[in-house]
A and B are shown apart, each in its own frame.
Chain A
Amino acid sequence: MHFEYNVEGGDFTNAGTTSSKVKKMMKQLGVDPAIVKRTVVALYEAEVNIVAHAYRGVIYVDLEDTSVSIKLVDEGPGIPDINQAMQKGYSTASPEVREMGFGAGMGLPNMQSNSDKLTVNSVVGKGTTVEIVNYF
């Protein structure tokens, strides 16, 4: 089954709507709760990334009998060095921001540890595409 959801940059109030919907469907399918949890954590992180950094984005969800594939495509500033961003603790956040508990450099690593397959592509000035695949 295929679904599409729109995400608005800056709309923190509604961040998490897509992960909530995907979670509900996975529960209906009877997917192992541990896999549901992993998927939701990874997707939520990715969803919030769009809200926090991009202008807007679309989330494409494909639910199959044996897997869930999620593609998040955003229009935004992009990530200059993806390899660096994938490293634990790497962050471009200022000390002030870090002091408040944000920008700990755990976003992408956290998504990685909660997905079976994670692909990140980005063009600076254009946007970022994140693909998450989890198998049941």
Chain B
Amino acid sequence: MEHIHHALKFKYDLCIGCSHCTSVCPTCAIHVEDGHPILDANRCIDCGMCYQTCPMNAIYIEQDDFETIYNFKCPVLLVPSIFSAQFPEKVSQRAILSAIYHLGFKYVYEVEKSVDVLKEVINDKVKDESAEKPIISTFCPAIVRLIQVKYPSLVDNLLLTKPPLDVTALYIREVLVERGVAPEDIGIFYVAPCAAKIAAVKSPVGEEKSNIDGVINMNYLYNKVFRVIKQGVYTLREDEFDFHPLSKNSILWSLTGGEIKDIPTGRNLAIDEVHNVSAFLDKLENEDLDDIDFLELRACDESCAGGILCAGNRFLIAERQRKRAKQRPKTVTPQENNILNYKDYLKDNMAVGEVQPRSMDKLDDNISVAMRKMKKVFEITNDLPKVDCRICGYQTCKALAEAVVNNQADIRQCIFVQRILEQTDKLTTAEALKITKKVWGEVKVDKDSIKHLDLE
């Protein structure tokens, strides 16, 4: 099995074993063992639902050490346009930019700089009669992974084009080398609004290696930049280097509906939030909805404004982003956005390899074995209470049944099964306790840990 990188990690020292993460996971990738969540690397799509729900902040998102930017003579920051919408409205773009330079970056580019080029490629694809429709956007990496694991029949619909992040990185390298910067001196650091984007940089789908040298979490940079601004230690820069203002549509691109705004022809839909997307893809798989041309699908509610590394309320961030967009013209000229002068080079280097499905539903590689297992799963699920209480450590009764069939769990982890077995003397209290402790750890069922409850 290929190694799949995940940006979400658990801090067991902070985890209280509440299993909220288990319950919200849209791909059923988390179960509890020994009082802590265990992640199934093949199922996780890095959507971050678990991160958002964790009451203990016991899930963190790994990032590269910020200090590594100083390993490069020419550190470049690649920042999504949503970054500036994190700040209160009175904080100017120029102040944010100056503070970033103050931190040591030589150049700053916005990710969506390449949207002006990318949208042409998308429109060509939408007009292409031979393309598999609907074309599904690959902008949101959590969606790409969702389709790989849950909707393998739809991988051929994925747009095999680099997302804005990678196209802009391609441009940055090209333009800086032209300006005489040595290639080895260029270090491109990407500011990620979510875990999925980090995972996509660390193990890109359909590509060998990413063009990005390091990843910085958006809320980390927000705090760092805001502190510089608050303390007023930066010098306001007059020059903007390549940080030319984006077009209106490029600013709106990462919000819900942003991509399809740039597609004037055909029937195009924008759907956000992972459960909404799942429901739609279920429908798409069932029915022949071939009159839809393009699907913009985003894992987060309010798209990137709802990214789990955003600092603040998603609706306020989206509102600020829209306000910023309103002040800009719909399109920009090559004089305003230099990337348009590199259109041909970028278009030639924009394709990515095929995306491979890796179905999470498949019970076995051998159909006969899978059939036997499926039968067993049905039988076990039928006998289980179907209350999905998670006391067994799994998200649902069916998930427990599947784990049992795959020899990963004991059916006696079910509290209802325990009660039934106890009635027929097939399970002692001591044995039941041992099983429960294997799932929830020692503490939760330790009789000495009760201090305030009056159980007499």
Which residues of A are at the interface with B, using a C-beta cutoff of 8 A? Answer: 1, 16, 19-20, 23-25, 27-31, 33-34, 36-37, 40-41, 44, 63-66, 136
Give chain B nearest CB distance to A76 CB in angstroms. Answer: 22
Q: Is B152 among interface residues, defined by CB-CB distance under 8 A?
A: yes
- Among residues of B, the one whose C-beta sits closest to the C-beta of A41 is B288
Given contacts A29-B367, A29-B374, A136-B367, contact A16 B287 (CB under 8 A): yes
Q: Given known contacts A19-B286, A36-B153, is B375 in contact with A30 (CB within 8 Å)? A: no
Asked if A37 and B153 sit within 8 Å, CB to CB, the answer is yes
- B362 interface hit (Cβ, 8 Å): yes
Give every chain A residue within 8 A of B288 (Cβ-Cβ).
Answer: 41, 44
Q: Please name 15 pairs of A and B residues whose Cβ atoms are closer than 8 Å in the assembled complex, sorted by A.
A: A1-B375, A16-B287, A20-B282, A23-B285, A28-B362, A29-B362, A29-B370, A29-B371, A29-B374, A30-B365, A30-B370, A33-B357, A34-B153, A36-B153, A65-B371
Q: Chain B 281-295 against A: per-residue CB contact (8 Å), 1 yes, 0 no?
A: 011011110000000
Residues on B facing A (Cβ under 8 Å): 152-153, 155, 282-283, 285-288, 357, 359, 361-365, 367-368, 370-371, 374-375, 377-378
The reply to whether B364 and A30 contact each other, CB–CB distance below 8 Å, is yes
B368 x A30 contact (CB < 8 A): no
By a CB distance below 8 angstroms, the chain B residues around A25 are 374
Residue of chain A at shortest CB distance from B402 = A28
Q: A33-B152, A40-B286 are in contact. Are A27 and B361 (CB under 8 A)?
A: yes
In the bound complex, residues from chain A placing their C-beta under 8 Å from that of B362 are 27-30
Q: Which residues of A contact B361 (CB under 8 A)?
A: 24, 27-28
Q: Find out whether the CB atom of B371 lies under 8 angstroms from the CB atom of A1.
A: yes
Beta-carbon contact of B287 and A44 below 8 Å: yes
Provide the residues of chain A in CB contact with B152, threshold 8 Å: 27, 33
**B155, B359, B371, B377: residue with the most chain A Cβ atoms closer than 10 Å:** B371
CA distance A18 to B152 in the complex (A): 20
A1 to B371, CA, bound (A): 8
Question: Once bound together, how far apart are the Cα atoms of A27 and B363, in whole Å?
Answer: 9
Interface centre among A63, A64, A65 (most CB of B within 10 A): A65
Known A-B contacts A27-B361, A33-B357, A34-B153; A20 and B367 likewise in contact (beta carbons under 8 Å): no
A112 to B155, CA, bound (A): 25
> Which residues of chain B have C-beta atoms less than 8 A from A28's C-beta?
361-363, 370, 374, 377
Question: In the complex, which residues of chain A have a beta carbon less than 8 angstroms from the beta carbon of B365?
Answer: 30
A16 touches B374 (CB 8 A): no
Assess the B364–A20 pair: CB atoms within 8 A: no
CB of A30 within 8 A of CB of B282, answer no
Instruction: Give bound CA distance, A30 to B377, whole Å.
Output: 15
A30, A33, A44, A66: the one contacting B153 at CB < 8 Å is A33
Chain B contacts for A41, CB-based, 8 A: 288
Which residues of chain B have C-beta atoms less than 8 A from A65's C-beta? 367-368, 371
User: Could you tell me the distance between the alpha carbons of A28 and B402 in the complex, rounded to whole angstroms?
Assistant: 11
A58 to B351, CA, bound (A): 48
Interchain residue pairs A-B with the least CB separation, the first 8: A33-B153, A30-B362, A27-B361, A29-B370, A65-B368, A33-B152, A28-B361, A37-B153
Given contacts A16-B283, A23-B285, A65-B371, 12 further A-B contacts (CB under 8 A): A20-B282, A23-B286, A24-B361, A28-B374, A29-B363, A29-B370, A29-B371, A33-B152, A33-B153, A36-B153, A63-B371, A64-B371
